[in-house]
Structure 1
Amino acid sequence: MRKFCFSLLFLGSLCLQAQEYFLKQYEPYKAGIPSPEAFLGYGIGEYHTRHDRIVHYLETLAETSENAEIETYGQTHEKRRLVMLRISRPENLKNLPEFRQRHLAYTDPNTAVKAGNDLPVFVQLGYNVHGNEPSSSEAALLSAYILVASEHPMIERFRREAVVFVDPTINPDGRDRHTQWANSYRGDPLVTDPQDAEHNEYFPGGRTNHYWFDLNRDWLLAINPESRGKLDWYHQWYPNVVTDFHEMGSQSTYFFEPMKDNGSLNPIMPRENYEDLNSLFGAYFAKSLDSIGSLYFTKEVFDGTYPGYGSSYPDLQGGLGLLFEQASSRGHAQKTAYGEITFPFTIRNQLVSSITTVKAAVENKDLLRKYQKEFFNTALRNAAASRVKGYRVVEKYDKNRLKAFIDKLLLHRVKVYRDGEDAIVVPASQPQYRMVQTFFETYERYRDSVFYDASAWSVANFYNMDYRPLRGVPAGKEITSLEGLYPVAPVESSSYAYLIDWDDYNAPALLYRLQSEGLVLASAFKPFTTQVGGREKAFSYGALVLPVSLQKKSPEAVHKILLEAQEEFQVPAYAVPTGYHLKGVDLGSRYVAPLEKPKAAMLIGDGVRSYEAGEVWHLLDTRVHMPITKIPVRNFSRADLDQYNTLVMVSGRYTLSDKEQQRIRDWVSKGNTLVTIAGASRYAIENKWVKESLIEEKKDSAKVVERLPYADASEHLGKESVGGVILRADLDLTHPLAFGYRKADIPVYKNNEVWLKPSQNPYATVAKYSKNAHIDGFLTKKNREEFLNKSASLLVSPLGRGRVVLFADNPNFRGSWYGTNRLFLNALFLGNHIEVPQ
């Protein structure tokens, strides 16, 4: 066996037999089962391992041992497999279907549990949700080998009393992006200089998935296939313990729960979770890490309030989610203030915590099962004690948005019932009562004011759902699937024209599909009422008009194209024989204008916020099926902007030269549309592209500054940031950016300090925060009084013959804001028709 040296952080330099560093403690190992080193051809920690090789190794363990089985639970955007390795003794695996049913009884308050101590505890070891935090997937290989092949008495006990589910890579697309980078720049000898390319990825980095989403925020929102596959798996098994392994800055040490005391309180979470169970398991981790000399810390940072983390979602399912954060080598070895930190060292801490998690779960399995049963029992008791017995959601005009909301409820196993044609009811009295609270309840009071992530997550507001609490729940038919829900009748043939409501969430996708087929459509910039099928029907602002006689295709071809698009996107369409209307404008009105097909581009690259850029890309790719050209900032000076009619700029640290800025201004002035989101809106205003202003903090030089404790600086300063709140904005429903909305007030999401001053132009402020704007989340009194109450959410400012659409907030946040996506899409599809009167 080869020898190689590790420079161990805090421990000095040791030279050990390569894999004894990880494996010796658990000897002996069963012959015939290959170790990771034997399989890969290199020692763990020498290189970063590709995801396909990780999957192949787990398949090999399942093939060579009766202690393991492998299943595929999904695939990524880039079609990489998502797998789970089940590990236990052969008898347990054989009886797993029975064990699963007995285990699920602990999650159902209406089912009695079967007595007996033979039921194993279910432990799910989840690794590498952030692709460029790679140590945990390497630890997954070692953990799997130890748990499958070790004949050590302790490991044999684990197999006897537990079923361990190993998910080696939650984010394979991001991991492989980082793996390629780290291995490509690996030196021999290793380069530990932090400035080396190996330690500094280029945009977008490997943290995120294909569309640059942070999957560790996606458990609740479930936008991506990785999360949807994982949630479907999760609700089949409801593991008692779930791990969530991460990395942090190279200058740090190691973190495990408990989290910070003042950030742990969750209004719907039992205290036993974040106080008793976390402290119990924390003592195990401390002892294990002490034994190998690793430094660590607890209770100082991080909070588990947001329910979309891998370490918080299990807490809402009667399990125990555990967060681990390892100082990162960001490559294979890197110089730090403590000396060198190496990839093998980071792996070993994650490995030790993995095995210790199984140990703690096995030794406390009765307590964990009792807690899980009581968790779901208290859900029903809490629901019974609440005055709110459920929620009624009404959506008359946009069934596709309603279906998307229902889909999210069903994914989390929340029971939903129909209440007539346009409404649903979600009862409180159900095992997933805490998920019902998560979807609908809003909060103003918090124990802490500095959140690691969002402080608002009432999902019903993400979807702009019109909902109200109920004191009693009416009877209705349960919805168990979207299949056949709200079917759309195929449109009849017309030789004159077709009309399509712009209210439907999928209407932009339908429009783009029709435009791509060569059809020309128009938009009604004023409402009208006409006869449809012998009945009077009103069409609101933005209704689409497809005139048959003006097309270059035959009426039969036009009808066929529309039917196919309608079938794909399930958008209602109506055949009409006349353009003469009962009320409002007629189809030949000058207020019915033909639409230009959007040709969009977006700046990306170093300095640009990849999350926001990815949200734009994902929205257009997956829901509108419309391409957007992603132009790296480094290439912008030679890009031909005249190919596009819309340019998107998201938040970022832009370093455009004066010449490049002038190119953008000149291009907009020709009649094109620039859409800026949050930080990019600030950039456009500060660089005087538009005649708009920001609301800035007033500086009072005469004010006496109060002295505060230095140690509390981060907490005091941090609470003034807007980490993520839901606010109410008031829309001008007659403005093209607001077409498709029927109500003037709309929830918006703010996670920045960009405060736009309402425009001096009376027609340019499309959305202003309402008088009582706060809906959900933490916001300081200062932010409310000095900024929020005086600010606008959305402006349109003229620039030559073009316009700049300035969003203060992010209308596409995390791919989940179905309620504000339309504002952004209107800027793309209707932008060229927006003229700001001077």
Structure 2
Amino acid sequence: MLKRLLLLLLFCSTLLNAQDYFYKKYQPFNASIPSPETFLGYGIGDHHTRHDLIVAYLEKLAEVSDRASIQYYGKTHEGRKLVILTVTSPENLSNLVAIKEQHLAFTDPIQNVSNYGEVPIFINLAYNVHGNEPSSSEAALLTAYTLVASENPEIANYLQNAVIFIDPTINPDGRDRHTQWANTYQGTPNVADPQDAEHNEYWPGGRTNHYWFDLNRDWLLGINPESRGKLTWYHQWYPNVVTDFHEMGSQSTYFFEPMKANGSLNPIMPKENYGYLNDLFGAEFAKALDSIGSFYFTKEVFDGTYPGYGSSYPDLQGGLGLLFEQASSRGHEQTTAFGKITFPFTIRNQFTSSITTVKTAVKNKAYMHQYQQDFFKSALTRASKSRVKGYTFGDTHDPNRTKAFIDKLLLHQIEVYKSGEGYVVPTRQPQYRMVQTMFETYDSYRDSVYYDASAWSVANFYNMKYQPVTSVNSGKQITSTDGLVSVVPVQQSDYAYVIDWDDYNAPAVLHYLQENDLVVSSAFKPFTVKVGNDSKNFGYGTLVLPVSLQKKDASAVFDLLGKAQEKYQVAMYGVDSGYSLKGVDLGSRFIRPLKKPKAFMLIGNGTRAYEAGEVWHLLDKRVGMPITKIPMRNFDRADFDTYNVMVMVGGRYQLTDKQQQKIKDWVSKGHTLITIGTASKWAIEKKLVKEKLTDAKNDSITKDSTKTVTRKPYVDAEENLGKESVGGIILRANLDTTHPLAFGYYDTSIPIYKNNTVWLRPSQNEYATVAKYDNNPMIDGFITKKNLEENLKPSASLVVSPLGSGRVVLFADNPNFRGSWYGTNRLFLNALFLGDKIRVPEAN
């Protein structure tokens, strides 16, 4: 009994300490509402809290309180719930439908309401987009409890004047990966040594989601279910203020906006957003952090240029996105130059900023409502003043890629209409700034050093041919992509079937047929054949399926083709003769049978998780094809001969001579090695291939080593050197469309994304340079004149180099960047499916 009493006293003491440390000023609390400590059985900050427990606690609050309700906006790749807890006064909660309607009136530029101070302000407190930046989700628990349980008049005022949407964990899969790591290696007592395992996660770490995507770059691209669910929710509510909580290096303090002074700001953003509003909120954050003795900084780093952050996307919706960066304990306690930083300390700063966000938003709710109204009204005004009245687009050769682009437009509530054989997006619409984001390109910014990308014109991501127009003739509005692609059902044939390779989904069809043991060939020269009563032209890469050469009977073959067509909506044709009207016949030696690819990819320490995840996601989700992921730690014992394609994404490969030889020997047997970015650079430097890098620096060295160097201020070094990096630009490259790696492309000009300084020199072999940067390569973004003239223009983007009986496909640039580069995915997939058919003739 005495032991139980002592434990109870200890537990109560923990709760009191937690209240004193975190939220003493918001007492008293409703005793019938369980605190996080009571519910979890441990104090906030004592351990890292699993996502299922976070959800369970919020569900409990919604169950026991008339201030809260919970909704589910999706599930992660791994099946974890994505939830939002809505907290407001009981009166507001019971009248939420009407309040929402009043709020949405401010986002409708046609309406002229002026009840700015009467409608509760909508605040989205969003946490933990990077899974191993965990303090904010713990702060979400404290914030939810404070808002639901506190009976302090200050909190009551907030609830009366605001509707607060708490999204506790934007990235549950990544969070739980990190939570498991941190709790597994937690010591008793805590181990503060930065070299301890607790503070050093194994690859890929918890930052990313299941497919190793950075979800804080996915608001614009909307590739993953976490982002798509949140975007759908967002456009139902249009919050006025949105938080974006992060962590940074342990040796720092705390950052909040304003961001970098004179930073690379999005050129379409109202100055009022990054000027007045950031300063308005920043002053309040400073007071709050001063009151608890926390140090911080502002204006030195970060920028809101890229519109796909959690702190920048809301800015394009008439709201205010707010970035916070907390020095991380990377575990429960860690030694820094300032002393020890603890997990509870990091949580308290995030909690303080959360409540201060609510306080400041409520204080300025009338202003924020009018700002949002003015934002959407100005969209129509700006559009009316522009000479461009719309953008026409579409690709008749590739309806599924066009469909994917339209899906992206609709996800952002952009109005799309049918127009002739294509589509049109009018500029005069509430989402005018998002239309600009999708189509416009820029070459002028206030600064030349970027936190992330300097180019984001999404139409180029999709290699979507578009045209600005000065007048719009629109037809039926497109509100859904359902049924948008409709192909004529394939007609049965006892001779052969022909399948277009132009469509984005064609590789998925090929894999499906190969997986079902059908023999499929590819056309290495164009041809024209009779289809029914008409003649039809077929280009490079067209799939040919001879019926009589299959192990299955004709009806089984037809059944499989029908299922593939229904699944992927790709055009297929039955033909009755192999005699072509033009070009090669179907029995030509240029119609070559394809070997089913069996691919593996090196992952783990030294490899870039983002790029590996993009490959994995592409094959999993769009092709339906498995890829074996071999960790670097298993390199020596892995049997490469099981596979015929190997992928090496960017990274820092520390392979021994023996391991390098293993790769050489395997490729030389006739296999295909695909390298991306810095992996291509590694392959050249290690002499796996005979290609070279463009080296303007060394190529320009003269005998004069006494050149005078102009002295510059040390304080400017970081800024000046940063300009030479390539933070993300869109370039124009020229394709050899007769090369197997470019099969399926009709236009020799293609947009390519570059975010590295890998400069491939065009091959000495006349037939091996598949894509070279154009003489006028810049489409969108910033690059220094030196990099442009000395490195970029002389270089190639894609080269194939022979190695024994095999070949190495060298990508200078990532064709699968962030899962959104539909326009260059085909280059990678061609390397995967057609690579073994590439024969590089000897150079003259």
In structure 1, the partner of 2:770 is 766
Task: Point out the more displaced range, 331-340 or 23-32.
Answer: 23-32
Residue 106 of structure 2 corresponds to 106
Question: What CA deviation, in whole Å up to 9, does each residue of 1:338-361 have, x standing for no partner?
Answer: 000000000000000000000000
The 3-state SS of whatever aligns with 1:430 is coil
TM-score (norm 1): 0.98
Aligned pairs for 1:66-85 within 5 A: 66-85=66-85
Question: Match for 1:381: what amino acid?
Answer: T
SS at match of 2:832: helix
Task: Give the Cα–Cα distance (whole angstroms) in 2 for the partners of residues 115 and 175 of structure 1.
Answer: 41
Q: CA deviation at 1:20?
A: 2.4
Q: Is the 8 A contact 1:512 1:597 kept in 2?
A: yes
Q: What's 1:794 paired with?
A: 798
Show structure 2 runs of 5+ residues with no match: 1-7
2:815 aligns with 811
Contact 1:19–1:44, Cα closer than 8 Å, also in 2: no
SS for the counterpart of 1:261 is coil
Shift of 1:111: 1.9
Indicate the residue corresponding to 2:199 in structure 1: 199
What is aligned with 1:361? 361
**What's the counterpart of residue 145 of structure 2?**
145
Amino acid in structure 2 at the alignment position of 1:537: K
Structure 1 position 3, deviation (Å): 6.2
Aligned-partner residue type, residue 803 of structure 2: L
- Superposed counterparts of 1:249-268, under 5 Å: 249-263=249-263, 265-268=265-268
The answer to whether the aligner puts 1:751 opposite 2:755 as a matched pair is yes
Gap change, CA 1:264 and 1:516, over 3 Å in 2: same
Quick one: distance in 2 between partners of 1:22 and 1:162? 22
Aligned to 2:626: 627
Tell me what 1:834 maps to. 838
Secondary structure of the corresponding residue to residue 139 of structure 2: helix
Q: In structure 1, what is the equivalent of residue 547 of structure 2?
A: 548
1:626-654 C-alpha deviation (Å, 9 max, x unpaired): 00000001101110000100000011111
Aligned to 2:718: 714
CA distance in 1, matches of 2:478, 2:613: 32
CA contact (8 A) 2:116 2:369 kept: no
Please report how far the alpha carbon of residue 115 of structure 1 lies from its aligned counterpart in structure 2 after TM superposition: 3.2
- TM-superposition CA deviations, 1:475-502 (whole Å, max 9, x none): 2111000111121122111100110000
1-structure distance, mates of 2:156, 2:544: 70
The one-letter amino acid paired with 1:216 is: N
Structure 1: distance between partners of 2:186 and 2:747: 56
What SS class does the counterpart of residue 105 from structure 1 fall into? helix
2:451 counterpart of 1:452: yes
Which segment is superposed worse, 83-92 or 693-702? 693-702
2:406 is aligned to 406
Q: Is the 8 A contact 2:15 2:43 kept in 1?
A: no
How many residue pairs end up in the alignment?
A: 830
Superposed displacement of residue 533, structure 1: 1.9
CA deviations on 1:190-222 (whole Å, 9 max, x unpaired) are 000000000000000000000000000000000
How far apart, CA to CA, are the structure 2 residues paired with 1:703 and 1:116?
Answer: 65
Change over 3 Å in CA distance of 1:729–1:581 after alignment to 2: same
Give the CA deviation at 1:15: 13
* CA distance in 1: counterparts of 2:48 and 2:266, whole angstroms: 38
Written as runs of structure 1 = structure 2, the 5 A alignment for 1:350-749 is: 350-421=350-421, 423-699=422-698, 700=701, 701-749=705-753
Distance, in Å, in 2 between the alignment partners of 1:388 and 1:255 is 40
1:41 aligns with 2:30: no
2:93 alignment partner in structure 1 = 93
Moved more, 21-30 or 502-511: 21-30
Tell me how far apart the structure 2 counterparts of residues 806 and 2 of structure 1 sit (CA, whole Å): 66
Cα pair 1:3 1:18 within 8 Å, conserved = no
CA shift, 1:836, in A, is 0.4
1:63 matched to 2:63: yes
Partner in structure 2 of residue 10 of structure 1: none
Distance 2:12 2:819 in 1: 45
Letter in 2 for 1:569: Y
The 3-state SS of whatever aligns with 1:773 is strand
Check conservation: 2:264, 2:450, Cα contact below 8 A: no
Structure 1 position 74, deviation (Å): 0.6
Q: Which residue of 2 aligns with 1:280?
A: 280
CA distance in 2, matches of 1:739, 1:703: 49
Deviations 1:429-471 (A, max 9, x none): 0000000000000001111111100000000000000011001
Mapped to 2, the partners of 1:520 and 1:282 lie a distance apart of 64
Deviation at 1:70? 0.1
Deviation by residue 1:487-526 (Cα, 9 ceiling, x = unmatched): 1122111100110000000000010001001101000000
Q: Partners of 1:805 and 1:353 in 2: how far apart? A: 49
Change (3 A) 1:770 1:342: same
**Given that residues 668 and 801 in structure 1 are in contact (C-alpha distance below 8 angstroms), is that contact kept between their aligned partners in structure 2?**
yes
Q: Which amino acid in the other structure matches residue 362 of structure 2?
A: V
**Separation of aligned partners in 1, 2:119 and 2:449:** 41
Three-state SS of the structure 2 residue aligned to 1:766 is strand
Q: Which moved more, 1:255-264 or 1:675-684?
A: 255-264
CA RMSD of aligned residues (A): 1.4
Contact residue 102 and residue 114 of structure 1 kept, 8 A: no
- C-alpha contact 1:264 1:274 (8 A) present in aligned 2: no
SS in 2 for 1:617: helix
CA distance in 2, matches of 1:730, 1:68: 57
Structure 1 residue identity aligned to 2:644: N
Q: Which amino acid aligns with 1:735?
A: H
Q: Could you tell me whether the CA contact under 8 Å between 1:4 and 1:17 is conserved in 2?
A: no
Post-superposition offset of 1:473? 0.6
> Which one is further off, 294-303 or 258-267?
258-267
Residue of structure 1 in register with 2:3 after alignment: none
Seen in structure 2, the aligned counterparts of structure 1 residues 3 and 250 have a Cα distance that, compared at 3 Å, is farther
Amino acid corresponding to residue 460 of structure 1 in structure 2: A
The alpha-carbon deviation at position 116 of structure 1 amounts to 6.8
Q: Distance in 1 between matches of 2:9 and 2:470?
A: 71
| Alpha-carbon separation, structure 1, partners of 2:294 and 2:696 | 45
Do the aligned partners of residues 438 and 5 (structure 1) sit closer, same or farther apart at CA in structure 2, a change above 3 Å counting? farther
- For residues 269-315 of structure 1, the C-alpha deviation after alignment (integer angstroms, 9 at most, x for no partner) is 10000000000000000000000000000000000010000000000
Measure, in 2, the Cα distance between the counterparts of 1:398 and 1:531. Answer: 21
Q: Distance in 2 between matches of 1:285 and 1:2?
A: 36
Question: How far off is 1:19 after superposition?
Answer: 3.7
Amino acid across the alignment from 2:274: Y
What corresponds to 2:184 in structure 1?
184
Q: Which amino acid aligns with 2:428?
A: S
Q: Return the alpha-carbon distance in structure 2 between the equivalents of residues 697 and 540 of structure 1.
A: 39
Cα shift at 1:2:
6.4
> Deviation of residue 24 (structure 1)?
1.1
TM-score, normalised to structure 2's length? Answer: 0.97
Distance in 1 between residues matched to 2:717 and 2:812, nearest whole Å: 28
Q: In the alignment, is the contact (CA less than 8 A) between 1:3 and 1:17 conserved in 2? A: no
SS at match of 1:230: helix
Task: Determine the C-alpha separation between the residues in 2 that align with 1:647 and 1:817.
Answer: 21
Match of 1:323 in 2: 323
Q: Which runs of no fewer than 5 residues in structure 1 stay unpaired?
A: 7-13
CA distance in 1, matches of 2:666, 2:271: 58
Map of 1:11 onto structure 2: none
How many angstroms does 1:113 deviate by?
A: 2.1
Residue type at the aligned position of 2:717? A
Q: Which amino acid aligns with 2:740?
A: P
Residue 53 (1) aligns with residue 57 (2): no
